[in-house]
Structure formats: C-alpha cells, structure tokens
Amino acid sequence: MEKIIKIKNLDCAACAAELSEELQQIEGVNAATADFINQRVSLSYESAEALEKAIGVIAGFEEVEIVDGNAPEKRESRLKEILSIAISAAFFVPGLLLTILYTAQDGWKWYLGVSFCLASFLAAGWEVGFNAGKNAVRAFKGGFHPSVLLDENLLMLVAAVGAIAIGEYMEAAAVVLLYQIGELLQSIAVGSSRGAIKRLMEMKSDSAIRLTEHGQEEVEPEALEAGDLILIRRGDKIPVDCTMAEGESELDTKSLTGESYLREVKAGDELLAGCVNEGNAFSARVLRPYTESAVAKVLELVENSSASKAKPEKFITKFARIYTPVVVLLAVLIALIPPLFQNYNFSEWLVPAIEFLVISCPCALIISVPLTYFSGVGALARIGVLTKGAVWLDKLAAVKVAAFDKTGTLTEGKFSVASAEGGEKVLLYAAAAEKNSSHPLAQAFANIETPYVAEHVEEIAGMGIACEIGGTHVLVGSSRLLRGHGVDVEESISDMVTVYVAENGVLLGKIGISDMVRPEAADALSALKKTGVKKIAVLTGDTEERAAETLKDLPVDEVCARLLPDEKPLRAGELKGEGTLLYVGDGINDTPVMAMSDVSAAMGGLGSGAAIEASDFVLAGDDLSALPKAVRGAKKTRKIVAENIVFSITVKIALMAVSLAATATGAFALPIWAAVFGDVGVMLLAVLNSMRMRRRIS
C-alpha cells in the first residue's frame, strides 16, 4: 500500500534524509521518502500498524506537523526567526563596538560590551542549542545515529561555545547570528521555489457548471463524466478536457504552454483543462473525466517529480552520512595530536579544530544540489514541459540523437477526409470499420454517419482492419494490407494518407486523408540542433514517398519509413548506438520505442494516456518549440549543479588549509566568523546560484 502524507516545518534536505532513514527502519515500511521542498512524505507500507508507527515518527520529528489535506494552507510565517535576528543584531552592534574599542583593563566598558555579546549570543543561539539538545536525545533512540547527532546545529553550538571558552565573546555572537541569517535567507529562497510550484497547482478549477434539463448545477470537476454539457463563463478555468459546442472565444493557455498569447477557439475545437476563458461565455461537451485530463496529468507529474532523484543528489545524501562523522573525528585529532608535539599547548589548537569542524559542514551541497534540480523542474514546467524526476534532466542534457514519430507529433494529428474515390459505399464502409480502431487515422471518420455495422473485426497493426459487413469480407487500410490478402492495387503517390477499401477481394476505391505539419515544427527542430543534437530522425509507418513529401521542409537528417510497430524499437536501438537518444511520440504504438530510448517525451494535450505514462517528459501544450527550451534548461541545471559542487568544495578546502597553516606557522589567526562564512556564506551563495534556474528559459 502507498500513501502521500502532507507535512510542514521540514526545513532542510539533511532533515529530510534523517526522517527518511528513520521511517525506513520501521518494520512493515518498504520505502519512505521525505521531500523537504514539496513538504510531503511518500510511504510504501504493508499494514495499518506500520502506517500508524510511521505517522508517529513523522509527528515526533523535530517541529514537523502533519497537515490535513482538506484544511486551507496557511501562509508560511518567519516572524519568530526575524524577531530573534533583530534582537540579536540590536545587542551585537554595540557589543562589537565596545569590545573593539576597549579591553578588560578598561573595566565596566569592556564588560558591558561582553554582556551585549552574550545577550546577542543568547537571542540568536537559544534555538540552535535547543535543536542540538533535541537531536542528541533522538540520536540515541533505537541505537546510535551519528548523522542525527552531528548536524549543523551541534557544529554551530560547538563553535560558539568554543569561542566563549577562549574569551572570543564577539565571535561567539557572530557565529550564531550569521548562522541564523543564513538559515532565514535559505528558507526564503526555498520558499520562493516552493511557491513557483504551488502556483502551478492553481491550474485546477475548484468547480464546474454542469448544464442539465433542470438548469445549471455547480459540481466538482471530479464529478463530471464524458458527454456532460458544461458552461464556461468569462474568466473561468476550463475544469476538464472538452470540445467547444458552440460559439467562439479566446483562451489564455499560459498555464500549459508558458506563453501568454491568447488562442482563438471555435465550435468543434478541443479545449484542454487548466486554460482560462478570456472571451465570451460558451458551452462545451466533456471529452474525458478529470483524472484523464491534461491538468490532472500536469499536477501529478509536478507533485511526483522530486521522488526520482538525479545521481548527484543521491551521491550527496549518501556522502553526507559518512562525511560528517569523519570530519568530527578529524577535528578531534586536530585538537589533540599537534599539541603533543608543541609543549601540550592544547588551547592553541582548539580554534583551528573548531574552525575545521564548522567549515567542513556539507550543508551547502545538501541544500543547493536538490534545490537546483527542483528549480530546474519548475522552470521547465513554466514553459509547458513536465518531467517525472530530476534524474531525467541529466539525461535530457546529454541528448545527441533525437527521433520523432511523424503522425500527431511532427504533424498536427487532426485528420479529416479530403477526398473519396469509388462512390459513397467506399466512405461508409471505411467509417463502419474505423469506428472499431484505436489508430489516430480513425479520427477522420468519427463524425461520418453510416448505416453499416462491422463484425468480426481484426485490427492488423500498422496496416489496417479486416472485418465483415453485411456478410461480405471488407478490408480497410494500406496497400500492403490489401496485397497481403491478394487484392490487386496500384499505390498512388500523394502528400495525403491514402486508405484503400476492398470488398470480397476486389478494390472498391480509396480515400485521401489530410494532416498538416505543425507550424512550429521547422523552427523547433532547427533550435534543437543548436542545443547540441547532432542527428534528427523520423520513425514512421508511412511510405517513403509520402513521408518525404510531408517532411520536405523540416531539417530532418534521416527518415525511416514503412516501419511496423515492432520494427520501430529495433531502429531506435540502432540510433541509440550513435549517442544518447531522445524519442518524441504521441500514440500507444510509441510506448515500446519510449521504453527503448534513453529519454522520451510525449505530446501531453492530444497524446494518449499510454504514451504519457511511458514517457519521461510531457509537452503539456503539444508545442514542439518547448522541446529545445527544455534541453537548454536541462543543460543549465546540470551546469549550476556542477558550479555549486566545485565552488563549495574549493572554498571549504582552501579555508581549512589556511586555518591549519596559520596555526601551524603562527603567522596569523583565522577568525571563527571566517569559518562560519565557509559554511553559512558558501551555503547561501550556492543557494542563490541555484535560484538562477528561476529565470525564464528562452
């Protein structure tokens, strides 16, 4: 069994890792992931007893609270932190001035400065000490958990108390004050990213107006069923995917596509949930229930995106669990070993040991790396590209070969009958047969009324349909289907899709079906190549001639035509050998190719549910121009992650080396506040760097 538990007050990635570890140790809990950015816990458990124990652990973890899913969410308040910092700063400024201007020989003036520093320390440091004490108790519950004990609160407390022990009262106050300021700024930065995702959640409409024979009734979107007639007023969010029944209007599609222009719609057009009506009121017919709508897919993807972590995230989490106990041991050795060779002068090496401990804290990495990936997921969502996890951002950034399905992906996939040869019977037979098909071409016959009923229907993948109509054997499909059944047919060359109809082994006629290339396709593929994609291929079951005619204006390097559904994955496997492969498709027949590819994307608006389930990315607005933007966003995310890792490690190693060298040579003493910058300052700079992902991807 699985359950999502919404929480609040889980403040950092390190805490989330600790909570996950505690939950995973509960008997009956198969898997547990605490997400500090989305503020939720994902549980996989075997029994109600295991769930009850897990809820107890979550509720008892630091200041974490379980949130009632139906309760309105309160705005996050930071008043306590701001007040604590303000009081501490008010004492710190005069304390700093007095301790700089006077010494202990000046009497009460210096002691007053020390008092101000101690008051500043208490105002900002009480919470640090309280949290360190709580963690010390938790660390020994059910065995010893060093990662719980040796967290940042304890490191800061040790640094501040150590400064007081050697008479550096001003530095003790500076340590906790700088730490609290850094924590507040980090909280604001994380809250900002969290807010960007919450704004996506506002895509869902709270209610819908259903039109019945008794008048209007207000219902929840989940209560709507396919075929219901609903009213969309000016300013309303479209609650579910539907078809416009009458009239004309304009839709704001920004929530799905990331673009602010208005889309003109008219009767018969498909409308996606999440868009806002900015024009006249109109009625619409529900196409599919809310759970299958575009907005539901978007929200589900966004909510679950943080569960799948990239390799750097997994490495940093595991690294921190081992790294922290190791550096604590090294700090103890620094405090104890060198003095044995320097006349047992332990006080001289106490400061560098404390500084080593503070500088080495891995918080900058633990926080900034997942925050960068989360911001990357949010940035892509704002341009209408949804990802199923951070791990896929790294793979998308590495793409060298891109393969596309043709129909419904590079073309609009909106089929209509353009011509019919052989009489009315040809069209009516085809309509009767295609009503039993799941192929996209069947859409062209959906609105054609026919008196005939197809029986004993057999859909032959990639070719067409064999059936019986009125006791006669009817074939509807490609020339290959008819030839396979012994029907003599001469294939016509046209830029339209041709469907042939045969009765009892005799060709009756043919039907031309039109489908236009997407207007943004050429520019999107050109932009994709500029991102570093070396080759673009198209995999289609269409004929070479028709595929070449349709794709002649697109920058495609290779067209693989006449592919049956089971042949597409084989060709994808060959392309995969030329570099990291991205596959983009929209139909059920694309799912095997998506599974074969390194990374895949589905057309979300008109794409099939199976393709969306199988893909790693979803183009929510069916807009191909979002794809190259997504690749650029993925590359930028990976670059910022690398910058944060290199910057954090470089600064920390440099400061640790300077601190130890200064003490060993006696040249100068590195102040403890500089060590605090090596932790809090580096963490803050890394977090601010990760916030660059909040900018719009162009």
Query: Helix (H, G, I), strand (E, B), or coil: what is residue 151?
Result: coil
Q: 44 is written with which tokens? A: 């996989």
What single-letter DSSP state applies at residue 695? S
Report which of 194, 147, 116, 180 is spatially closest to residue 20, judged by C-alpha positions. Answer: 147
Contacts of 616 (CB under 8 A, 6+ apart): 387, 388, 389, 392, 395, 396, 594, 599, 600, 601
Q: Which amino acid is at 591?
A: T
Q: Tell me the H-state helices in 577-625.
A: 591-596, 609-614
Provide the strand spans (E) within 14-102.
29-35, 40-45, 65-66
- The count of other CB atoms within 10 Å of the CB of residue 184 is 16
Q: Check: CB of residue 386 under 8 Å from CB of residue 294.
A: no
In this structure, what token pair is assigned to residue 459?
């859909």
> Active-site positions?
405
d(CA 614, CA 389): 13
- The C-alpha atoms of residue 502 and residue 493 are separated, in whole angstroms, by 19
The answer to whether 205 and 231 are in contact (CB under 8 A) is no
Handedness of CA 90, 94, 97, 98 (dihedral sign): negative
**585 sits in which H/E element:** strand 581-585
Please answer whether residues 256 and 263 qualify as being in contact, where contact means their C-beta atoms are separated by less than 8 angstroms.
no
Question: Which strands, in side-by-side order, build the sheet including 262-266?
Answer: 262-266, 248-252, 276-277
